[in-house]
């Protein structure tokens, strides 16, 4: 072999940032301020945690779970568990106890590291986690005096105390498992995606490219997207590799606190789902001139598509680039990215033209392949018109679920994403809908996402969710469920008139329902399954059907 056969292990990247920039800080929000430690301390503590886990019997390949907010100890767990060759299993703290029980047992977690305030939720599972041998409890100021009914619980600090600060990371195969994330399971049981060192290494390097997230050692990142949500889009890995200053909100996820952190920590980039940025926008609009966000350069937005109006607002008001990314737990997760300038020809584009591109899911990252297929697995043209089932392949794309192959989710080496999409002649991916959320009316398809994006741009609308309702003649018809902004005057007719400016008559919602809140999934997306179930529970009828019966 003429070139060195260095395995692509995360342990070869994760200590680097602390070596390059030992004095840079990892900042965790607390009830009345912040708790700060350096990257060097974080690295040393990660090595200590690895020693403690090894002493507790954790071996290469064993699953160690976290049940935690975003914070410095969660970061240490990432660093330690992955580098020592164990498997970082990030449990979603917002799941039901039924799902958690299934996931913990399916993964066979041996240890769970839990934030002290999350203990009550974990205690609901007492006696239902037979593989779990120990609970490590991480505290924060104000949460120190924890106690629990769970057996074998130990304080995180006691667990790592006195351990050596240098762990000799093992040289394992690069295809070894590294991290486990379960999809939140909109249908059926949650399914586990097992990342490998190789897949994660390549994803980490790739998101640092200038045209992807453009991450730099000079950045200060506010990590809002939960670390239990597809590894926070890979940011913790990249941040440790580069030595970025990292700020974590922990359990303080209200928009006001996030906005304060953006200002006080001089954040340059952040990442979160659209609802987070809607909230931050509301805080900023409610107090014009109060916050100085002049350090902020870019927000990465994923999980679901940000409305174009939101992208435009952040640019126009703050000069902040909202970067849309598309991906899923199964894609590590980043697969496409949409920047203000993604191509040479964009240099001369107007803001409006750029915003139109940014509203698309984005351009494919190097090394991946995307294709859209019809029902007979025939590839469809990239003309921006044809839409079909989106498939993807490449070195950081899932090839099977963990101990649960699910062959129907894969086709001929490709992952079947469950999204319905178009690809335009410029190569932009445009997500039409989740295949299960697309509305089939009279043999034609209506995109719930397109309607939502349009409705939410209307003055007075805070959120909009469009779901299908069964219809005897048309098969399905769209209904819009809308949350008004405080004090806004809105009516069904006003919303429909607004939709009529863009959509054909047959594409307009049959009804507009005003609600106080839209239920969210455990990963912060609008939970259309619950919206539909609630309409069914309420005995909701489409107007023309209700009319017939009246």
How many Cβ atoms from other residues are within 10 Å of residue 165's Cβ?
Answer: 14
208 counts as binding a second copy under rule CB under 8 A: yes
Nearer of residues 221 and 311 to a second copy, judged by Cβ: 221
Question: Minimum distance from CB of 359 to a second copy (Å)?
Answer: 19
Q: Is 445 a catalytic residue?
A: yes
Residue 139 in the binding site for a second copy (CB under 8 A): no
User: What one-character DSSP code corresponds to residue 233?
Assistant: G
In whole angstroms, what is the distance from residue 271 CA to residue 265 CA? 15
> Counting contacts by CB under 8 A, is residue 168 touching a second copy?
no
Q: How far is the CB of 416 from a second copy (least distance, A)?
A: 13
Angle CA 413–419–422, to nearest 5: 95
* 83 touching a second copy, by CB under 8 A: no
Q: Does 215 bind a second copy (CB under 8 A)?
A: yes
Contact segment (CB under 8 A) with a second copy among 43-51, 147-155, 336-344, 457-465 equals 336-344
Residues contacting 25, CB < 8 A, separation 6+: 36, 37, 38, 39, 245, 246
Candidates 278-286, 296-304, 341-349, 512-520; binding stretch for a second copy (CB under 8 A): 341-349
In angstroms, give the least distance from the CB of 221 to a second copy: 11
Nearest to 432 by CA among 383, 518, 361: 361
Min separation Cβ 210 and a second copy, Å? 5
Give the Cα separation of 253 and 401 in Å (integer): 31
Annotated catalytic residue: which of 76, 174, 265, 330? 330
Catalytic residue (choose from 189, 256, 409, 440): 440
CB of 402 to a second copy, least distance (A): 6
Bridge partners, 481 (sequence order): 465, 513
The C-alpha angle with vertex 547 and arms to 545 and 550, in degrees rounded to 5, equals 115
Choose the catalytic residue: 139, 343, 371, 445.
445
Interface residue with a second copy, options 85, 223, 236, 243 (CB under 8 A): 243
Number of shown-chain residues binding a second copy (CB under 8 A): 67
Is 2 part of the annotated catalytic residue set? no
Which among 330, 364, 17, 362 is positioned nearest to 193, based on CA atoms?
A: 330
CA angle 134–224–483, rounded 5-degree value = 115
Subset of 42-61 contacting a second copy (CB under 8 A)? none
Cβ 221 vs Cβ 245: under 8 Å: yes
Among 2, 147, 187, 350, binds a second copy (CB under 8 A): 2
Cβ neighbours of residue 170 under 8 Å, at least 6 residues apart?
Answer: 11, 60, 84, 85
Under the binding rule (CB under 8 A), the answer on residue 440 touching a second copy is no
Note whether 445 and 435 are within 8 A (CB): no
| Of 358 and 448, CB closest to a second copy | 358
Q: If binding is defined by CB under 8 A, does position 350 make contact with a second copy?
A: no
Beta carbon of residue 19, minimum distance to a second copy (angstroms, whole number):
6
Min dist CB 409 to a second copy, Å, is: 13
Where b means 16+ CB within 10 Å and e means fewer, 359-369 reads bbbbbbbeebe
Pairing mode, strands 87-90 and 192-196: unpaired
Q: Which of residues 292-331 bind a second copy (CB under 8 A)?
A: none
Task: Using DSSP, state whether 517 is helix, strand or coil.
Answer: coil
**Pairing mode of beta strands 439-441, 429-434:** unpaired
Which residue's structure tokens are 């249908």? 187
* Catalytic pick among 66, 183, 259, 331: 183
3-state secondary structure of 285: helix
Q: Based on CB atoms, which residue is closest to a second copy, 19 or 149? A: 19
* Per-position x/- string for 393-412, each x denoting binding to a second copy as judged by CB under 8 A, each - no binding: xxxxxxxxxx----------
Asked if 195 interacts with a second copy (CB under 8 A), we say: yes
Q: Which tokens in the block code for residue 526?
A: 């609008």
Interface pick for a second copy out of 94, 256, 257, 343 (rule CB under 8 A): 343
Tell me the closest approach of the beta carbon of residue 212 to a second copy, in angstroms. 9
Verify binding: residue 233, a second copy, rule CB under 8 A: no
Choose between 402 and 474: whose C-beta lies nearer to a second copy. Answer: 402
Is residue 23 within the footprint of a second copy (CB under 8 A)?
yes
- Cα 8-222-183 angle, rounded to 5 deg: 60
Active site residue 440: yes
Give the C-alpha separation, 240 to 264, whole Å.
22
The residue (of 194 and 466) whose beta carbon lies closer to a second copy is 194
The count of C-alpha atoms lying within 13 angstroms of the C-alpha of 462, restricted to the half-sphere facing its C-beta, is 19
Closest CA to 319 of 338, 345, 298: 298
Stretch that binds a second copy, among 78-86, 113-121, 296-304, 387-395 (CB under 8 A): 387-395
What interhelical angle do 72-83 and 39-55 show, nearest 10? 60
Handedness of CA 103, 104, 109, 112 (dihedral sign): positive
Write the interaction track for a second copy spanning residues 442-481; mark x where CB under 8 A is met and - where it is not.
----------------------------------------
Binding site for a second copy (CB under 8 A): 1-6, 8, 12-13, 16, 19-21, 23-24, 175, 177, 193-196, 198-199, 201-202, 205-206, 208-211, 214-218, 220, 241-245, 341-347, 363-364, 366-367, 369, 393-402, 413, 415, 427
Active site residues: 183, 330, 440, 445
């Amino acid at each position: 072999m003429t070139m060195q056969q260095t395995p692509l292990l995360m342990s070869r990247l994760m200590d680097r940032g602390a070596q390059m920039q030992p004095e840079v800080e990892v900042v965790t929000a607390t009830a009345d301020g912040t708790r700060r430690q350096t990257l060097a301390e974080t690295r040393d503590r990660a090595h200590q945690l690895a020693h403690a886990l090894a002493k507790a019997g954790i071996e290469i390949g064993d699953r160690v779970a976290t049940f935690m907010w975003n914070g410095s100890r969660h970061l240490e767990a990432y660093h330690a568990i992955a580098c020592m060759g164990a498997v970082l299993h990030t449990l979603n703290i917002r799941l039901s106890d039924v799902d958690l029980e299934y996931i913990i047992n399916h993964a066979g977690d041996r240890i769970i590291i839990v934030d002290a305030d999350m203990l009550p939720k974990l205690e609901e599972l007492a006696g239902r986690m037979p593989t779990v041998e120990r609970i490590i409890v991480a505290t924060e100021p104000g949460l120190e005096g924890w106690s629990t009914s769970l057996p074998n619980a130990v304080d995180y600090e006691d667990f790592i105390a006195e351990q050596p600060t240098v762990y000799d990371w093992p040289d394992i195969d690069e295809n070894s498992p590294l991290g486990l994330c379960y999809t939140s399971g909109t249908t059926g049981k949650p399914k586990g995606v097992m990342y490998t060192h190789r897949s994660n290494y390549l994803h980490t390097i790739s998101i640092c490219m200038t045209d992807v997230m453009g991450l730099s050692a000079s950045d200060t990142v506010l990590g809002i997207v939960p670390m239990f949500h597809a590894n926070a889009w890979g940011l913790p890995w990249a941040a440790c590799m580069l030595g970025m200053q990292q700020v974590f909100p922990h359990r303080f996820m209200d928009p006001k606190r996030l906005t304060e952190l953006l200002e006080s920590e001089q954040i340059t980039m952040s990442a979160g789902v659209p609802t987070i940025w809607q909230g931050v926008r509301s805080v900023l609009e409610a107090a014009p001139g109060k916050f100085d966000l002049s350090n902020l350069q870019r927000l990465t937005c994923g999980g679901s598509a940000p409305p174009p109006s939101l992208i435009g607002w952040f640019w126009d008001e703050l000069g902040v680039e909202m970067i849309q990314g598309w991906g899923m737990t199964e894609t590590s997760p980043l697969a496409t990215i949409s920047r203000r300038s993604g191509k040479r020809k964009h240099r001369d584009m107007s803001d409006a033209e750029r915003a139109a591109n940014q509203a698309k899911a984005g351009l494919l990252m190097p090394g991946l392949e995307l294709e859209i297929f019809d029902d007979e697995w025939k590839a469809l043209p990239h003309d921006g018109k044809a839409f079909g089932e989106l498939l993807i392949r490449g070195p950081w794309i899932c090839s099977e679920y963990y101990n649960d192959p699910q062959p129907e989710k894969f086709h001929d080496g490709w992952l079947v994403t469950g999204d319905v999409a178009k690809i335009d002649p410029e190569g932009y991916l445009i997500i039409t809908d989740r295949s299960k959320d697309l509305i089939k009316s009279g043999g034609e398809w209506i995109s719930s996402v397109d309607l939502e994006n349009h409705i939410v741009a209307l003055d007075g609308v805070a959120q909009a969710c469009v779901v299908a309702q069964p219809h005897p003649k048309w098969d399905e018809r769209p209904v819009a469920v809308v949350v008004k902004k405080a004090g806004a005057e809105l009516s069904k007719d006003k919303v429909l008139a607004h939709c009529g400016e863009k959509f054909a008559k047959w594409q307009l919602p049959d009804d507009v329902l005003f609600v106080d809140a839209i239920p969210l999934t455990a990963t912060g997306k609008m939970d259309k399954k619950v919206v539909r179930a609630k309409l069914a529970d309420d005995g909701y009828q489409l107007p023309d059907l209700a009319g017939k019966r009246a």
